[in-house]
Each structure stands twice: as C-alpha cells, then as structure tokens.
Amino acid sequence: MASARARFLLVFFLLLALFEIPLLLEPVDRNLVQPFTRGIAVVSGSLLTLFANDVRVVGTMLISPCFSVNINNGCNGLEATLFLVAAVLAFPAPPKARLIAAAVGVALIQGVNLIRVLSLFLIGCYRREWFDTFHLAIWQTVVFGVAILYFASWTRRRTPQGAPQRA
C-alpha cells in the first residue's frame, strides 16, 4: 500500500511539472494561455451585461464605469485545473474512468472559476473594499478546495487497480 501511495505521488508530481512548466514559456503563454484567458473574459463580459451596464471586453480586461479588472494568469483557473487533472490521471483507476473524471473536473473548476470572475467583478463594482480579500484569500481557497474535494470524492468511489476488494 505504501508503494502505491509513493507511485501516486511520484506520477502526480511528474504530471504536474509536465503540465505547469510549459506555462512558463512565452510561446505557450502567447498561443495557448492568453487566448484561453481572452475566452474567459469574453464569456464573463457577456454574462456581466446581465448584471451591469456598459461592460466591455478588451483582450483579457473587463472594463466598465464602475470597475475594471484584468484576468491574469492565476485568475484563469488553469493552475487548479492542471492540479486536478494531474491528480486524477495519477490515480490508479481504469483509463476511461480517469478521462471521464478529468473532463468533469475541468468543467467543474472552470465553472467555479467563471463564478469567481463574475463575483469579483461585481464585488469590485459594489464593494471595492472587499475585492482584495475575496480575490486573494477567499476565492483562491474555494477554487483549490473544490478541486481537492472533487478529487477526494471521486477517489472514494474508486477502488485503485490492483487493490483488494472490500467485502
């Protein structure tokens, strides 16, 4: 059992490095991360027009008369998404189960992150003094907490490959 845990941790950290290190490269940022983040800004801007008037999207920025914010790396949900995908893929479960869990996890994290972006923009408009606390402490914790809780919940329903079945 200890070797299975050690194998999981080794594979998890290798996958995490494999996923995260390319994000540091300028071509990956320019051709993958920035377009992805612009997509988040466009979706957020479209949804925000339901709650706030005169919201414009310029690149990765959401701009309105009441507040403007730039969605930077770290605010696009990629780190939490890659963390969760690395954990799911490292877990000793059947490949199909891991792929389904990873896809559901990506959708979950990106959905939560979208709610995060929308709420932070509205907090910036209507309770600017709360913005930093919600941005830096509360929402970062919530997004990673959702990733960890999803992974823990999923693994509790999975018996690792090669593990003895419980009676």
Over its length of 167 residues, how does the chain's per-residue pLDDT go in tens digits? 678 889 999 999 999 999 999 999 999 999 999 999 999 999 999 999 987 778 999 999 999 999 999 999 889 999 999 999 999 999 999 999 999 999 999 999 999 999 999 999 999 999 999 999 999 999 999 999 999 999 999 999 886 555 555 54
E strands, the chain, are 56-58, 61-63, 68-70
Residue 129 is classified by DSSP as G
Residue 44 in any domain: the answer is yes
Residue 115 in any domain: the answer is yes
Q: Residue 18 has what pLDDT? A: 97
Residue 165 in any domain: the answer is no
What is the token pair recorded at 85? 């995908």
Residue 163 in any domain: the answer is no
Check: CB of residue 4 under 8 Å from CB of residue 160: yes
Residue 51 is classified by DSSP as T
Residue 134 in any domain: the answer is yes
Residue 34 in any domain: the answer is yes
- By residue count, the chain amounts to 167
Give me the number of domains the chain comprises: 1
Residue 166 in any domain: the answer is no
- What interhelical angle do 78-90 and 2-20 show, nearest 10? 150
Residue 162 in any domain: the answer is no
The parent domain of residue 126 ranges over: 2-156
Q: Residue 158 has what pLDDT? A: 80
